[in-house]
A = this chain, B = another copy of it.
Amino acid sequence: MDNRFFSKPLAFENVTISDGFWKRNMELVRKEVIPYQWETLNDRVPDAAPSWCMRNFRTAAALQAEKKEKGEAFVPPKYVWRGFEALPEDPSNPEEGRFYGFLFQDSDFSKWIEAVGYSLSQHPDPELEKIADGAIDIVCAAQMDDGYLDTYYIINGMDAAWTNMRDNHELYCFGHLVEGAVAYYQATGKDKLLNAACRFADYVDAHFGREEGKRRGYPGHEVAEMALVRLYEVTGEEKYLKLAAYFVNERGQAPNYFEQEEAVRAQSEGRPARHANLYYYQAEKPVREQDEAHGHAVRAVYLYSGMADVARMLNDESLFNACKQLWHSIADEKLYITGGIGGTHIGESFSYPFDLPNDSAYSETCAAIGLVFFARRMLQISPDSRYADVMEQALYNTVLSGMALDGKSFFYVNPLSVNPVACKRDERLQHVKHVRQKWFGCACCPPNIARLTSSVAQYAYTENEDTLFTHLYTAGSVRKQFADGTLTMEMVSGIPWKGNAKAVIHADAPVKGTLAFRLPGWSDQPAVRCEGKQQTVKNGYAYLTGEWREGDAVELCMPMPVRIWNADERVRENIGQVAFTRGPVTFCAEQADNGENLHLLRVSDLDPAHVTVETDETFAHSTVRLIVNGKRVVPQAGGLYRAAAAPVMEDIRIVLVPYYAWANRGEGEMTVWLRN
């Protein structure tokens, strides 16, 4: 590991995004998602499942108030197991003093406040900030004196706290609280929530670790690992980094903590211990020995992100090697061409290598988001364009597909092939929706899209002492402090529709330093033109070093041909089929353009030069569509089975639109892979 290349995202105040493509998405999040989400957190959306989130915080806060008032006379609630999701018998009249919703519902607030933070950093909004401050007051009021803050146990009784770390998401809620608190602090400078998060982190640090008297547990659903590294970065408190490293290193050690914990629960409940699939939790063996991406895909990439963070912070090469192996497992064996991951809905998990079914894909939006997290952290250690290519692929396809073009509905699952009849009539596809949903009871994806979209700047650029890295060509303005001064880089770019970008430098005085630009894998012979700077290329990045002056310009010419793909033959699902990409965008055929029965289409011309690229004004914003020479099989009569013959086909033009834009024009079929 060459830590001279290590880098980190820029401080919020040093990046402003002005990119048309991303600005539109960020504005959707700001205007649609964040306000809507606040309503759902408060159970005020009539036709959406209640979140119960803020209600739970209020209930927990009332308990803290009662405790303060009554002092030692206060009898805390006795623990009652309320199930994974507790719902009131009469939803219109929930009982006072009860916890409702999924037991990880606290995290809804945390993801929301994180998105609010990013949004405020790009677009100040005093009204929104006031609402956020009010929410923070409620959340902080729910915190216990010792720092503990998980409303499920505060309300249901603390006796059983930390008795089921495998399933009950306390450290997941903790991790998200930290992430949200850091983002809100970084955006606003307000530290009330950050202080609460630190108090909770101190509590966790005091209770977990290898030291005598501490629990040897670790998160069932990972996220605390990367959150703690962030908390360390913002506070400088080394104990947080150590705690993150402990969680990473303890995971999967023998004897297995989750199994020990289950044995204790089983004994206390007088039942035999139940077997759990430890792969689901990435806890089957120590993380350095894990060589295949396994189990719940979101948990997995959250863990790997935390591993990469710890590896970078501690310059831990063997941990980074484990990250590289797991990256290989994903990118070379388990990645959809849409940047999605998770082949099976059973356990929302990775399937076995090369098992990438299209119609029953899980490809959860949150998993693609987690892959973006993981990819940027790998880039932070090792600026290699292969990581950035996958990050961009996930971002422009599955992450964006998760949200409707009007920001009002969401996909949890992102299939690569959809037949609405099958979605309606086939229970095996119960997890696949062919129309985006307004909200989910288990609402992880919409707020996750909100926080990622609002923070795209954190993925586009990273820096270290002497280098500013451009990973994504997201137009905007970036300020970089070098040893001898500060420069501002104004980036404009045609991405994702045109393969050009231009960076213009502003500097009051000449500044020495290196600007590094990613050479995207989707481009043929990308060229970087800049006069008077030394240029070297390494691992898909062009490094321009020299003295930068006002008006210096870097021109990037990244030819963006249509590409037609075959999958590795081990992907049985895609044998004899092709998919189309152009730049970072994966395309798909929709019924709206091509009629129904997309399985009858065949691509008859594999020469990408024969594909027509057109501007398309069909959607809410201008996009590009591809016109492909193809054929359509003409169905023949003859019964369920008939004598085989060469198919009768007619010539057609197949229209392809960006995958992220699918299902914005009513119900219909969709497919990414087409027969050829």
Chain A positions near chain B (C-beta within 8 angstroms)? 331-333, 335, 337, 344-347, 351-352, 354-355, 360, 419, 421-422, 425-428, 563-572, 575-576, 578-579, 597, 599-600, 606, 633, 635-636, 638-647, 675-676
Report yes or no: A599 in contact with B578, Cβ–Cβ below 8 A.
Answer: no
Return the chain B residue nearest A337 by Cβ.
Answer: B641
Distance of A400 from chain B, by nearest CB (Å): 20
User: Knowing A426-B344, A428-B344, A599-B575 touch, does A644 contact B565 (C-beta < 8 A)?
Assistant: yes
User: Knowing A344-B426, A352-B421, A428-B344 touch, does A644 contact B578 (C-beta < 8 A)?
Assistant: yes
Residues of B within 8 A of A352 (CB): 421-422, 425-426
CA distance A675 to B576 in the complex (A): 9
CA distance A352 to B428 in the complex (A): 12
Q: Given contacts A333-B640, A337-B641, could you give 9 more A-B pairs where the C-beta distance is less than 8 Å? A: A563-B643, A565-B642, A566-B644, A569-B597, A570-B635, A576-B647, A576-B675, A606-B645, A606-B646
Of the candidates B428, B563, B575, the one whose C-beta lies within 8 Å of that of A428 is: B428
CA distance A563 to B346 in the complex (A): 39
Residues of B within 8 A of A645 (CB): 566, 606
Distance of A327 from chain B, by nearest CB (Å): 13
Residues of B within 8 A of A644 (CB): 564-566, 578, 606, 676
CA distance A565 to B636 in the complex (A): 13
Distance of A559 from chain B, by nearest CB (Å): 15
Return the chain B residue nearest A606 by Cβ.
Answer: B644
25 contacts between A and B (CB under 8 A): A331-B640, A332-B639, A337-B641, A344-B426, A345-B428, A352-B422, A352-B426, A355-B422, A564-B643, A565-B643, A566-B642, A566-B643, A566-B645, A567-B641, A568-B639, A568-B641, A569-B599, A569-B635, A570-B635, A575-B675, A576-B576, A576-B675, A578-B644, A579-B641, A606-B644
CA distance A35 to B426 in the complex (A): 41
User: Knowing A337-B641, A642-B566 touch, does A355 contact B633 (C-beta < 8 A)?
Assistant: no
Residues of B within 8 A of A567 (CB): 640-641
CA distance A571 to B640 in the complex (A): 8
Residues of B within 8 A of A597 (CB): 569
User: Knowing A422-B355, A675-B575 touch, does A641 contact B565 (C-beta < 8 A)?
Assistant: yes
Residues of B within 8 A of A565 (CB): 641-644
- List of 9 A-B pairs having minimum Cβ-Cβ separation, nearest first: A352-B425, A569-B635, A564-B644, A346-B427, A565-B641, A578-B644, A566-B644, A572-B599, A606-B644
Residues of B within 8 A of A640 (CB): 331-333, 335, 354, 567-568, 571
Distance of A146 from chain B, by nearest CB (Å): 40
User: Knowing A351-B425, A645-B606 touch, does A569 contact B344 (C-beta < 8 A)?
Assistant: no
CA distance A113 to B571 in the complex (A): 48
Distance of A88 from chain B, by nearest CB (Å): 14
Distance of A652 from chain B, by nearest CB (Å): 15
CA distance A421 to B422 in the complex (A): 26
Return the chain B residue nearest A633 by Cβ.
Answer: B569
Residues of B within 8 A of A638 (CB): 568
Residues of B within 8 A of A344 (CB): 426-428
CA distance A426 to B354 in the complex (A): 12
Return the chain B residue nearest A331 by Cβ.
Answer: B640
Residues of B within 8 A of A579 (CB): 641
Distance of A634 from chain B, by nearest CB (Å): 9
CA distance A422 to B354 in the complex (A): 11
Report yes or no: B600 in contact with A425, Cβ–Cβ below 8 A.
Answer: no
Residues of B within 8 A of A642 (CB): 565-566, 568
Count chain B CB atoms within 10 A of each CB in A335, A354, A568, A647 and give the residue with the most.
Answer: A568
Residues of B within 8 A of A354 (CB): 640
CA distance A388 to B307 in the complex (A): 64
CA distance A345 to B346 in the complex (A): 15
CA distance A115 to B635 in the complex (A): 45
Residues of B within 8 A of A427 (CB): 344, 346-347
CA distance A403 to B351 in the complex (A): 31
Report yes or no: B564 in contact with A600, Cβ–Cβ below 8 A.
Answer: no
CA distance A28 to B16 in the complex (A): 79
CA distance A345 to B428 in the complex (A): 9
CA distance A426 to B355 in the complex (A): 9
CA distance A426 to B346 in the complex (A): 9
Distance of A360 from chain B, by nearest CB (Å): 7
Distance of A673 from chain B, by nearest CB (Å): 11
Return the chain B residue nearest A347 by Cβ.
Answer: B427
CA distance A490 to B479 in the complex (A): 98
CA distance A332 to B641 in the complex (A): 9
Return the chain B residue nearest A635 by Cβ.
Answer: B569
Residues of B within 8 A of A599 (CB): 569, 572, 575
Report yes or no: A355 in contact with B425, Cβ–Cβ below 8 A.
Answer: yes
CA distance A675 to B646 in the complex (A): 12
Count chain B CB atoms within 10 A of each CB in A345, A569, A606 and give the residue with the most.
Answer: A569
CA distance A575 to B419 in the complex (A): 15
Residues of B within 8 A of A570 (CB): 635
Distance of A296 from chain B, by nearest CB (Å): 13
Return the chain B residue nearest A349 by Cβ.
Answer: B427
CA distance A646 to B344 in the complex (A): 30
Residues of B within 8 A of A355 (CB): 422, 425-426
Residues of B within 8 A of A421 (CB): 352
Distance of A394 from chain B, by nearest CB (Å): 14
Return the chain B residue nearest A569 by Cβ.
Answer: B635
CA distance A563 to B642 in the complex (A): 9
Residues of B within 8 A of A347 (CB): 427
Return the chain B residue nearest A597 by Cβ.
Answer: B569
CA distance A676 to B644 in the complex (A): 10
CA distance A636 to B641 in the complex (A): 34
CA distance A676 to B645 in the complex (A): 10
CA distance A352 to B344 in the complex (A): 22
CA distance A635 to B569 in the complex (A): 6
Return the chain B residue nearest A607 by Cβ.
Answer: B644
Residues of B within 8 A of A566 (CB): 636, 641-645
User: Knowing A644-B578, A645-B606, A676-B644 touch, does A636 contact B425 (C-beta < 8 A)?
Assistant: no
Residues of B within 8 A of A647 (CB): 576
Residues of B within 8 A of A333 (CB): 640
Return the chain B residue nearest A346 by Cβ.
Answer: B427
